[in-house]
Amino acid sequence: MRLPKFSKLRPPAVARIVRALWQMLNTKRRALFVSLLVLLVCTGILEMCGMIVLFGYIRGLQVQENGSRKGAIARGLDLIFQRPLEQIEFVAWGGVALFAFMVGKTLFGTTVKFALNRMLMKLNQRVSEQMYRTYMQAPYEVFARRGFKGPAQDIGKVFGLFGRCFGATTQLLADSSVLFMTWLLLLWVDPHLTVLASTVFAAVGVGVYSQLSKQLGRMGKEQDEAERKVSRYLNEGLEGVIHVRLRGSRDFYSASYAQALGRTAMMTRRKQAMARLPRSANELTLAGLIVSITFYVTLRGQTVAAALPTLGVFGFAMVRMNGIISRVNVAAQVLRRKIDEFEGAFNKLREVAPATFGLPAPSFAKYFADERPLPPGIDGKLTNELLLKDVTFSYPGKKKAVVRKVTMRIRRGEFVSICGPSGSGKSTLLLLIMGLMRPTSGQITCDGWPIFDHIQTWHRSIGYVGQSSLLVARSIRDNVAFGIEPDRVDDAKIWAALALASAEEFVRELEGQLDHELLEGGSNLSGGQRQRLMIARALYEDPEVIVLDEATAALDNITEREVTEAIVNLSGKKTIICVAHRLSTIKNSRRVYFFKRHRVVAKGPFAELVAKSPEFADMVAAGEGSLRSKASAADESGEPAVGA
């Protein structure tokens, strides 16, 4: 089944929203949607009946020559009481009947609109959940290609746009139904007056709308541009505060932010003022029409008393219609401004979460689809060796391979290091080893079984520490036990992991210790403290394999030595795979793989590799010079040197 594309012929925005909705609903929900639309029409009919009841109540106040009252309500009450009612009795009982009908009508309309809004908001929630679930199951390439913020922005944009457009559509459909039924009632009461009033209202509405539409569109674009500048100067100024201060740019950023903010506020004020114009114009038109209608019935020779019911119904209906027209105009403006963004978000949804439309999941969402039961007698733990055979990887859409024909044999308990120039493919190789990306060709096996056939089992065997610290604004406990359900968190395991990562001492000195709250990104800790917490996180579940991607780069030399010693002590118990430039880390590994031009160009123990690889020897010489410079700086300052 192929999903239909949006036509180049642009139907009204509300029709395009409803069509998109229809595609997202299954058979059961389509039936519910149609039923709610029918009930919306019923709310309009009840609104019309409310006018009729009001009209009948006003007519019943008039007594005919034979002593009976006019109108169906009066006749109905006469039948109930078996006699004509006195004026005070009719006013009381007729008022009770009118009020009861209005309450029932209002409750019915509110319930229907609530049910429709609930259905649409549930749909919006389900769509966002489906997108989130799809991205959570997607391979790492999706995030590598678009960045980690891209999927989050997609989900947020779809949820926000769909919520706003669905809400405006519900308002527009509900109010349009009431508006149309009210117009039919007025047409029945007096066709001439209704046509006259409709013509005047339409002329005023079209005139005002045509004048405001272009102005509001232009002002909307100006406001969007001003808001982008506000966001840009806000983020750049605060996130880059060090550069701003060192370059003396505080006044520039403050002035630029103030100017953009002022422009945004001015556009908002103008748009709000102009948005009130249609309602004001309708109110003036309404006042003029009421006066004109009074003249009209007078010129027809009717007395004011005889024309009072008609005038009352028209006056009440027009006041109601004025408010409805204003809401319809606001909803229509929202849809008109947002429809292009909505369609973009809708197309993104079709790409990412076609399950919303009853279609198969996208190919990139099948990352865990090949999961199979482990062979008999295998528990999923690394007991012998991890083997990479002729592993090659290219990012989707790229011809150039970032990892080329790599073969590695890593035995259980070994500590191996991978080093080489930046951009040579080292970190990508780690992602392949962890099973976060699938090789374009070649195979990765653990004790003979392919890791991608049992990827979730393999993931449970790995602890990872990356180059940057992902710390959230929660407690130390929550950060070390990141992703663990709260009732499963074990404080003893946390302290053991902190001790192993040389982080126990500084955590015990913090107020609240494990309950100490971090700021976003761990900004109330030093760089070394943040990275040690990341190492503790990797060690919390006691994994079989520890993967370190420049994990000690943010640590000072003394702390780095302590952490490296802790890691070395794990050698023989854990399999450690490390990407590092720090020679103090590389020297402790059993075997070093030297990467260059996206392939392994040399391998062996550290001393042997220095002897047989001039390129590696040059890198070592440069690294030793760097380390000596840092040590010298530390001696002069009395402070430990900080790693790059």
Full set of structural domains in the chain with CATH: 13-189+343-357 (no CATH), 385-637 (3.40.50.300)
pLDDT of residue 367: 59
pLDDT tens track for 424-473: 778 888 888 888 888 888 888 888 888 888 888 888 888 888 777 678 88
C-alpha–C-alpha distance, residues 458 and 451, integer Å: 6
At residue 442, the 3 state secondary structure works out as: strand
Cα 96 to Cα 54, 77, 316, 636, distances in angstroms: 12, 11, 19, 93
pLDDT of residue 524: 80
Q: Is the pLDDT of residue 193 over 60?
A: yes
pLDDT of residue 300: 67
Q: Is the pLDDT of residue 279 over 70?
A: no
Amino acid at position 597, single letter = R
Q: Is the pLDDT of residue 416 over 70?
A: yes
pLDDT of residue 8: 47
What's the average model confidence in pLDDT over 315-323? 72
Q: Which range (260-274, 321-335, 553-567) has the least confidence?
A: 553-567
pLDDT tens track for 30-47: 888 888 888 888 888 887
Out of 25-34, 287-296, 328-337, give the one with best mean pLDDT.
25-34
- 280-289's contacts with Cβ under 8 Å and 24+ in sequence apart are 281/204, 281/205, 281/208, 282/201, 282/204, 282/205, 282/322, 282/325, 282/326, 283/322, 285/200, 285/201, 285/204, 286/318, 286/319, 286/322, 288/200, 289/196, 289/197, 289/200, 289/201, 289/318
pLDDT of residue 275: 66
Task: Quote the tokens at residue 445.
Answer: 């096996």
Q: pTM of the entire structure?
A: 0.67
* Beta strands at 599-604 and 591-596: parallel, antiparallel or unpaired: antiparallel
What's the average model confidence in pLDDT over 285-294? 70
C-alpha–C-alpha distance, residues 128 and 154, integer Å: 9
pLDDT tens track for 353-378: 777 777 766 665 555 656 677 777 77
The contacts of residue 432 (CB under 8 Å, 6+ apart) are 388, 391, 393, 403, 438, 439, 444
305 vs 501: which has the higher pLDDT: 501
What's the average model confidence in pLDDT over 389-399? 82
pLDDT tens track for 4-28: 444 444 677 788 888 888 888 888 8
pLDDT-derived band at 67 (thresholds 50, 70, 90) equals: low
| pLDDT mean across residues, the chain | 76
| Helix orientation angle between 614-637 and 557-570, rounded to the nearest 10 degrees | 130
388: β partners:
408, 444
pLDDT-derived band at 501 (thresholds 50, 70, 90) equals: confident
pLDDT tens track for 575-615: 888 887 767 777 778 888 888 888 888 888 888 888 888 88
What's the average model confidence in pLDDT over 131-138? 77
pLDDT of residue 643: 31
At residue 377, the 3 state secondary structure works out as: coil
What's the average model confidence in pLDDT over 53-71? 71
C-alpha–C-alpha distance, residues 300 and 291, integer Å: 14
pLDDT-derived band at 509 (thresholds 50, 70, 90) equals: confident
pLDDT of residue 2: 47
Scanning the structure block, which residue is given the tokens 């395009």? 16
